[in-house]
Every structure is written in structure tokens, then in C-alpha cells.
């Protein structure tokens, strides 16, 4: 295996030239998101550099408290991001979303690290990057599922009221919205799985190959992680919506949205 080629600051800076191409196209097409492009690029760079410095320290100085603190931090931030994008849901619904995201995300992480890989959960070299991928995808899935669920309910509020007036139960009315939102949340992961290995080599696999890992080992890890991502997306969205939708109606079978 050849050694990985390290990038110096000058080489790394060249990648930002591609953003100029994006900026030119956005200007030409009159897309008024140039400020967002700049802010997103800056935040991404600063956040990842800081994360790199923190991870370097943690991996060089492994201690259970560092790993657990990092896990709790990313889980808390994921919950915050989901709830900040769905401020209209009621308090009980928010608690259910938070518990669902945390419990399913951390359970899948523990299963992957301790059962599949077979190392300690406190091993930062494995736990931190893998938990980031799993919990990050759970966050994206729940956000997409909640967005779809809420938008569909608002769009069909008149139909919901009509069904209530003719005696339909809230459960019978709302379950189809839950199912549709779950399907929408799962589709990006399922489509990614279909094209994986033919259209593109996934990020985790690419990173491992670049670092000198055997391609077959990288493939096995990638298959394991994508199945874990599919499972955590399905479980976190299902639990959030299946238990959360019950908070939208009272004992008198009145839907309160």
C-alpha cells in the first residue's frame, strides 16, 4: 500500500476555487443565496477544523469521559437541530422526538461498536466517527420525517376536519400521514444504497482506502455502516412519529394541531 499523500495549506486552499464556480453560476441564475454559500462554507471549515483538533487530542489521550462527553454532545446537538426546525410541535411531541432520537441513535452505535466491531464503546478511534455518521443521519431522517408529516397535515387540514365530522378516529386519520413521512425519510438512504458501489464509492469507504486500508475491509465497514444508518433512520423516525402523533389528539378524540 502506498502512503497517504498529506495536503499542505496551499494545496488545500485550491479546493476553494470551486466555490467561485458555484458563486458565478448562482449569480448568473439570480439565486439569492450567495450569503448563505459564504456563511455555510466558513462555518463548515471552522467547525471541522475545531472538530479535528478536538478529535486529535481525544484519540491521542483516550479516556472514557472524553468519549462519553463527545457522544452526549453530538446527541444533544442533533436533538437541538431537529427541534429548532420544528418549533410548532407540542411539548410532549418534542420530548418523544428527543427520547426517540437519543435512544435509537445510541443503541445502534453501541450495537455497531461493541457487537459488530467488537471493541470497547470507550474507544474513541471507532466510537466517535461512527457515532457521528449514525446520529447525524438519524437527525436528518427525523427532520425530514417531521417536516413531511407537518406539511402534509397542514395541507390537508380541511380533509382531516371532514373525516372527523363523519366519525373517523384520529388514529385512522393520522396513521397514513405517519406512514408517508416515514417513507419520505427513508427514500434518500434507500436510493443511496441502490447506487452504492456502481455510481459512487461512499465517503467512509473512500476515506479508509485513502488512509491505506484494504479495499475489502473498507467495503465491509461501509456495508455495515450503511445498514446501521438505514436502521437508525427507520427506528428514530418511526418512534418519533408513531408515538408523537398520539399527542395531537385528546381523550375526546379531538385533533389539536
Same-domain status, 91 and 216 = yes
Q: In this structure, what C-alpha cell is assigned to residue 89?
A: 410541535
Look-up: residue for cell 388514529? 171
Q: Identify the three-state secondary structure at position 249.
A: strand
Claim to verify: residue 70 and residue 22 sit in the same structural domain: no
Task: Report the pLDDT value the prediction gives residue 204, as an integer from 0 to 100.
Answer: 64
Give pLDDT, residue 234.
94
**How far is residue 126's CA from residue 111's CA, in Å, rounded to a whole number?**
12
Residue with cell 445510541: 106
Both 189 and 207 in one domain: the answer is yes
Domain shared by 89 and 46, yes or no: no
- Do 95 and 209 belong together in one domain? yes
List, as one string, the DSSP characters of 199-233.
TB--HHHHHHHHTT--HHHHHHHHHHHHHHHHHHH
- Model pTM above 0.85: no
The tens digit of pLDDT for each residue in 182-206 reads: 999 999 888 888 877 666 666 666 6
Number of domains in the chain: 2
The pLDDT of residue 253 is 62
| Same structural domain, 46 and 171 | no
Mark whether 57 and 72 lie in a shared domain: no
Q: What is the C-alpha to C-alpha distance for residues 130 and 122, in angstroms, rounded to an integer?
A: 12
**Pair 48, 73 in one domain:** no
pLDDT along the chain (257 residues), means of 10: 68 87 88 87 90 86 90 94 90 94 95 92 89 92 93 85 79 89 91 74 63 73 87 94 85 64
pLDDT at 251: 66
How far from chain centre, in Å, is Cα 86?
A: 15
Strand partners, 196: 200
Helix 157-165, helix 170-195: angle, nearest 10: 140
Q: Are residues 2 and 118 in the same domain?
A: no
Structural domain range at position 11: 1-61
Residues 137, 49 share a domain:
no
Same domain, 83 and 106: yes
C-beta of residue 141 within 8 angstroms of C-beta of residue 233: yes
User: Model confidence over 163-173: pLDDT tens digits?
Assistant: 877 877 878 88
Vertex 181, ends 73 and 237: CA angle to 5°? Answer: 30
Q: Does residue 41 sit in the same domain as residue 67?
A: no
Amino acid at each position: 500500500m502506498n502512503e497517504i499523500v498529506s495536503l499542505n495549506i496551499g494545496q488545500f486552499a485550491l479546493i476553494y476555487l470551486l466555490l467561485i464556480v458555484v458563486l458565478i453560476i448562482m449569480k448568473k441564475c439570480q439565486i439569492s443565496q450567495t450569503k448563505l454559500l459564504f456563511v455555510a462554507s466558513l462555518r463548515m471549515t471552522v467547525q471541522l477544523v475545531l472538530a479535528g483538533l478536538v478529535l486529535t487530542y481525544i484519540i491521542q489521550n483516550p479516556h472514557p469521559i472524553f468519549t462519553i462527553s463527545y457522544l452526549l454532545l453530538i446527541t444533544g446537538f442533533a436533538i437541538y437541530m431537529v427541534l429548532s426546525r420544528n418549533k410548532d410541535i407540542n411539548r410532549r411531541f418534542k420530548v418523544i422526538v428527543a427520547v426517540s432520537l437519543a435512544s435509537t441513535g445510541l443503541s445502534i452505535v453501541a450495537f455497531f461498536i461493541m457487537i459488530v466491531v467488537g471493541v470497547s464503546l470507550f474507544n474513541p478511534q471507532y466510537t466517535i466517527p461512527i457515532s457521528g455518521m449514525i446520529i447525524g443521519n438519524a437527525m436528518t431522517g427525523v427532520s425530514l420525517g417531521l417536516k413531511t408529516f407537518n406539511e402534509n397535515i397542514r395541507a390537508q387540514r380541511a380533509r382531516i376536519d371532514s373525516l372527523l365530522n363523519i366519525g373517523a378516529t384520529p388514529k385512522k386519520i393520522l396513521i397514513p400521514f405517519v406512514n408517508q413521512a416515514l417513507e419520505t425519510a427513508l427514500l434518500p438512504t434507500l436510493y443511496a444504497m441502490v447506487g452504492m458501489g456502481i455510481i459512487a464509492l461512499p465517503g467512509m469507504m473512500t476515506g479508509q482506502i485513502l488512509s491505506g486500508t484494504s479495499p475489502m475491509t473498507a467495503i465491509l465497514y461501509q456495508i455495515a455502516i450503511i445498514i446501521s444508518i438505514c436502521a437508525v433512520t427507520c427506528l428514530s423516525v418511526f418512534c418519533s412519529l408513531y408515538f408523537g402523533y398520539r399527542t395531537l389528539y385528546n381523550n375526546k378524540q379531538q385533533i389539536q394541531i
